[in-house]
Structure 1
Amino acid sequence: MNSHFKFNIILSLLLSIHAYVRGQESLPVPSIASPWAHEVDHEAPHQAYPRPQMKRDTWINLNGQWDYSIAKKGTGIPESFDGKITVPFPVESQLSGVGKKVSDDRELWYYRTIGLNPVRKNEKVLLHFGAVDWETEVFVNGASVGIHQGGYDPFYFDITQALRKGQVQKIAVRVWDPTDKGPQPRGKQVNEPKGIWYTPVTGIWQTVWLETVPESHIAHIKNSCNFDKGTIKVSPEINNPDPGYRIKVTAYAKGQKVGEQTKNVGEELEIMIADPQYWSPESPFLYDLEISLLSGNRELDKVESYAAIRQISVGYDEKGVQRMLLNGAFVFQYGPLDQGWWPDGLYTAPHEDAMVFDIEKTKEMGFNMIRKHVKVEPATWYYHCDRIGMMVWQDMPNGDHGNRWERRPGIVGVGTEKEREKASESIFKNEWKAIIDANYNFPSIVAWVPFNEAWGQFKTKQITEWTQNYDQSRMVNSASGGNFILDGTKVIGDIIDLHNYPDAAMPDPGIYGKENIIVLGEFGGLGLPVEGHTWQEKDNWGYQSFENKQALAERYEQLIQAMKHLIANGLSAAVYTQTTDVEVETNGLMTYDRKTIKFDEGWMKQLHQNLYDVRININK
């Protein structure tokens, strides 16, 4: 071995050790990227308004180039930084410009300065984060303004008191994320990815933005409806209200005013809509709302929002089997398991058009529902589901694994519940409530799923009943394919949900259908690796793999034809695995890079129509 070659080996080892010691293990560069990757403006990505359910004009998008550093946990704000990172892409992703892993004994720091005009009297500046994984502390001009725990819910801090005179303000953000070494919700993230477990996601992964509001302002709104009465209900939460303040809500249908009501702060507003139009996948009608905070005749604050009139309920068919109803009628719900991962951005889509592409392709294939699997999307994703017409089942991201689970063929899953520590329970409950609060207003969401299989499942009865009581407008699927808690023949929650690969199956409606809605929460998983469009060249997998599109389509058609019989006998919904390939999984309807669609969309839509055409009579 010559000395020059020996030197290069030693140098490479030293660099590797140095990177590991600093918690900056570089991740392999993926061989594929989505079509939108080259469109990313690294100076100003994701410029859409991030909160479509509560819009104001007075905001500044802070996405773009920030300084970053990966430092030993607990060392404080760094004095120097490792380079630039593109916010809001997670540090492990290629679109962040970094592509490095952060270990649990390290913290990820962000830093930038911003220019602000002087804050006027009786005005506040709020610093918003769409989502940061997992623990976040924010400093403004060196002063800590708050700490937040939770990787999937939006949060903000009032930074008014930390601002200095002059226009330049310094913002530093500390993030700590133990991934699978901690009990926190994390979905499919693991430190050592393999199989169905994927690359870690650390740090800011949704939009960062500033908002200026009056001291007395609308802090939150809760929109709902009364389907039977044809009304839209709005419950605003006001920051720093005076006793004489009032709230005015005006509703519009395609630009025409259809209702208005004014009440005192603290009262719920209910607007009667003449000749109401109902929301459904076939007709996703949305009413625009203007919500104003008034002092006398003076408007102190105003936000724009929207709502829909739709109902999710339970009925019984002629055989006495429970069915899930939309607007009083049986609609078979069929959609893909959608994990929302990207080869270039991981949790973060490269562009808003990319998110819309996934939803629109799902619609074009003839699906009417999406199960958002152990991940929560940005608010804009749900807005597009609302306007396009796509029902959503929303999972709680799992965490803190360890309990056992078994399947009794054709019946239910049984096993043990996780014995969580008090801190772990608290983390789960706090984040689940925050996720529901943040996404309550989206009419596309028709079901909450607290647990998937037995992944960290604990106190199922308590969590399920709390969810049912907290949001009575949706179904609750206590444990999709998981440990069912039985009370006689009734499963706790509204739904009994079987997972079965690859063929369609369901629990016996004669045993369980009288007490619960019967659904097939996962099936299919038919795999087709497409050369040049896989995460890695070999060792990819699906639940059942095929060599070409024709063989894949023939097997898929068999699954659909078999499901018609299940619908006639009691099945209310089904979820096919999955929307896209994800990392080494190749069982997607599309490849991971979205460049190849494995099925003909028109053929699929026609095939799926056979499922919706199965007639089920509901006893009134």
Structure 2
Amino acid sequence: MNHQLFTRWGKNLDTDKPLQEYPRPQMVRDSYLNLNGYWEYAINFEKKAPVKYDGKILVPFSPEAFLSGVHRQTRPDEYLHYKTQFTLPEGFLRKRVLLHFGAVDQICEVFLNGSPVGSHEGGYLPFCFDITEYLAKGANELTLTVRDYSDTSYLSRGKQKLGRGGMWYTAQSGIWQTVWMESVPECYIERVKLDPDYDNGSIGIKVFSTGRRGRDVRIRILDGDCEAVSACMAADKKKDIKIKDFKSWSPETPHLYHMEITMGEDCVRTYFAMRKFSVGRDEKGILRFMLNNKPYFHNGLLDQGYWPDGLYTAPTDQALRYDIVKMKELGFNMIRKHIKVEPARWYYHCDQIGMLVWQDMVNGGSDYHMNFICFMPNFWMPFGRLVKDNKYRAFARREKAGRAQYYRELKAAIAHLYNVPSIAAWVPFNEGWGQFDAAEAAARVRKLDALRLIDEASGWFDQGGGDMYSIHNYWRRLKVKPKKDRVVALTEYGGYSQRIEGHSFCSEVYGYRIYQTKQELTKGYRELLETDIIKGISKGLCGTVYTQVSDVEEEVNGLLTYDRDLVKVEEETVKKLNQKIYEEFERCTHTGQ
């Protein structure tokens, strides 16, 4: 039997105005109209918009989420319909109006006042439409038709599964991020690409614009309230601007520079950080992760990004920020965002707080052969190092269209998140889930972004590419040794479990080692870190990802309960262990120690 859990933020949710914060902090305009709130919805078998709707749904929560007010699973053969009305506030309209969707799972068509505006495929990335020509004076009617195949097609789906259980979670559908509008001039700034050059002390800027190329652009870079530098440049051309005596960004000192960009009548605000991710040899000749040209241990956790009351959608911005803050307080410096792309504000919080991010690409593919892609390499580790991933049938990647869709989303995800300072690594594939041609995927990632690290195939089915010799280890004592050309990283481990009555989704328990009390769980966690992690650093271990931040449904292996009410381990013990990790890494990477 499943139990509906609530977070404290969900219990106190303002249903009249949910998630009102500006959704795109990496490129801010003053123009902003939030459309979150109660919409009409219907679920049926007809693609055509219904005459009568079923009731109200609280956007941006998926119908499967309790906070939506619907709490009903959509099926692959059903259509999910949305309808709302809006009127543009006085003074809002400039020349053009852009309608933005943070994410809609999985395929949607958008209509305004009965006219088709556009469509989108893929449930994890933002998209927008210019709706200027479709607007009416006064009230406007916005409708969507959505279909979600979940795990019955090759499209990306992450951990969603219609038959949830174990490591697979409740499937969700439809709008799950903020819907909003902005008004812009006829010629406006479309996007900005920022390339910090740490070694040369400069920031590379390229402003992409609509309309005539090469328009004049004015740049102001601010350090706090003080102007650090100003410059003029041409749109659609890159310019490098020197930052004198710049301040570095790191988890310990997360310093951000702010930037104002003006082009004609348009003005946007963004931010950046001066930091460098690389690999290099320590004083003892062992290959290590480097941050700002110094050896740096990535000490992280796996983060699924699920909420008991909102599923993919955190109830509030405070909830979204909470997990990051709590993990930082416990002494971690990295989060691996597991096969999900979060709202842009999540990355903004990581940038501000000082939390490294390893970003997974979202897995797709048809029905997985779990014996092949999971159980065999997990229990016999050499298996995953021997198999080539061009066996498309075995890896559930027979459909050419599905492979093409993956590459489109790979490119789009990197473009979307490119300016996020805290993202240290890209992870194209995880444990063979929908994996194919990983070496080619890693090469494409490198071409799209040469400034970050790559974990080509996290866990197993290693094809020899990327920057990491990536290990998943849940069942045995860890044995590592330095590699000649790649950094050794334990990219998943632990998964120690404890179910706490009143804070658990169901009575079933899924995990790798079961404990009954906080003291027992803490003792097991301490022994694991002292035996495997701390001792492994001298042998070349450079990064770790503990499973995981929070419980999710029956997978009760989080440091936090699913409702985020309890920390399941003794906090001071975890802090001291993390400090020991950093001290041991410092000792092992310097010849004089």
Q: TM-score, normalising length from structure 1?
A: 0.90
Identify the range of structure 1 (178-187 vs 119-128) with the bigger mean alpha-carbon deviation: 119-128
Contact 2:2 2:505 in 1 (8 A): no
Match for residue 493 of structure 2? 523
Q: Distance in 2 between matches of 1:127 and 1:91?
A: 22
Q: Alignment identity in percent?
A: 42
Shift of 1:318: 4.6
Shift of 1:121: 8.8
Q: 1:465 aligns to what SS in structure 2?
A: helix
Q: Distance in 1 between matches of 2:114 and 2:243?
A: 51
Match for residue 363 of structure 1? 328
Q: 1:347 aligns to what SS in structure 2?
A: coil
Match for residue 94 of structure 1? 66
2:557 corresponds, among 573, 581, 587, to 587
Alignment map for 1:329-348 (pairs within 5 Å): 329-348=294-313
Q: 1:613 aligns to what SS in structure 2?
A: helix
2:218 corresponds, among 239, 242, 248, to 248
Q: Does 1:574 align with 2:521?
A: no
Q: Distance in 2 between matches of 1:472 and 1:242?
A: 26
Match for residue 206 of structure 1? 177
Match for residue 472 of structure 1? 450
Q: Does 1:560 align with 2:529?
A: yes
- Alignment RMSD (CA, Å): 1.8
Shift of 1:249: 1.3
Q: Does 1:77 align with 2:49?
A: yes
Shift of 1:465: 0.5
Q: Distance in 1 between matches of 2:383 and 2:281?
A: 21
Q: Does 1:402 align with 2:368?
A: yes
Q: Does 1:432 align with 2:410?
A: yes
- Write the deviation string for residues 158-184 of structure 1: whole angstroms up to 9, x where unpaired: 0011112x2111100111110011111
Shift of 1:72: 1.1
Q: Distance in 1 between matches of 2:405 and 2:152?
A: 15
Q: Distance in 2 between matches of 1:311 and 1:250?
A: 22
Match for residue 317 of structure 1? 282
- Write the deviation string for residues 486-515 of structure 1: whole angstroms up to 9, x where unpaired: xxxxx2111111101155625542xxx101
Segments of 5+ residues of structure 1 without an aligned counterpart are 1-27, 295-299, 486-490
Provide closer, same or farther for how the CA distance between residues 174 and 331 of structure 1 changes in structure 2, counting only shifts above 3 A: same
Q: Does 1:613 align with 2:579?
A: no
Provide closer, same or farther for how the CA distance between residues 454 and 194 of structure 1 changes in structure 2, counting only shifts above 3 A: same
- Letter paired with 1:425: R
Identify the range of structure 1 (207-216 vs 603-612) with the bigger mean alpha-carbon deviation: 603-612
Q: Distance in 2 between matches of 1:327 and 1:447?
A: 15
1:187 corresponds, among 142, 158, 168, to 158
Contact 1:316 1:618 in 2 (8 A): no
Match for residue 353 of structure 2? 388
Match for residue 419 of structure 2? 441
Q: Does 1:236 align with 2:207?
A: yes
- Letter paired with 2:578: H
Q: Distance in 2 between matches of 1:236 and 1:438?
A: 14
Match for residue 68 of structure 1? 41
2:509 corresponds, among 524, 530, 540, to 540
Q: Distance in 2 between matches of 1:61 and 1:145?
A: 19
Contact 1:528 1:552 in 2 (8 A): yes
Contact 1:343 1:592 in 2 (8 A): yes
Contact 1:502 1:544 in 2 (8 A): no
Q: Distance in 2 between matches of 1:305 and 1:51?
A: 10
Q: Distance in 2 between matches of 1:121 and 1:191?
A: 43
- Write the deviation string for residues 403-437 of structure 1: whole angstroms up to 9, x where unpaired: 63343437954435334312101211111111111
- Letter paired with 1:92: E
Q: Does 1:125 align with 2:97?
A: yes
Q: Distance in 2 between matches of 1:87 and 1:455?
A: 30
Provide closer, same or farther for how the CA distance between residues 265 and 526 of structure 1 changes in structure 2, counting only shifts above 3 A: same
Provide closer, same or farther for how the CA distance between residues 477 and 121 of structure 1 changes in structure 2, counting only shifts above 3 A: closer
Contact 1:132 1:152 in 2 (8 A): yes
Contact 1:527 1:587 in 2 (8 A): yes
Q: Distance in 2 between matches of 1:433 and 1:45?
A: 31
Q: 1:174 aligns to what SS in structure 2?
A: strand
Bigger-Rg structure (1/2): 1
Q: Which runs of 4+ in 1 moved over 2 A?
A: 28-31, 117-122, 317-321, 401-420, 502-509, 600-603, 615-619
Shift of 1:266: 2.0
- Letter paired with 2:368: G
Contact 2:284 2:589 in 1 (8 A): no
Aligned length, in residue pairs: 575
Contact 1:396 1:450 in 2 (8 A): yes
Q: Distance in 1 between matches of 2:233 and 2:191?
A: 16
1:163 corresponds, among 135, 148, 151, to 135
Match for residue 13 of structure 1? none
Q: TM-score, normalising length from structure 2?
A: 0.94
Q: Does 1:460 align with 2:452?
A: no
Q: Distance in 2 between matches of 1:464 and 1:144?
A: 37
- Letter paired with 2:31: T
Q: Distance in 2 between matches of 1:170 and 1:291?
A: 34
- Write the deviation string for residues 283-324 of structure 1: whole angstroms up to 9, x where unpaired: 000000001103xxxxx1000000000000110135543211
Provide closer, same or farther for how the CA distance between residues 479 and 242 of structure 1 changes in structure 2, counting only shifts above 3 A: closer
Match for residue 549 of structure 1? 518
Contact 1:248 1:262 in 2 (8 A): yes
Q: 2:260 aligns to what SS in structure 1?
A: strand
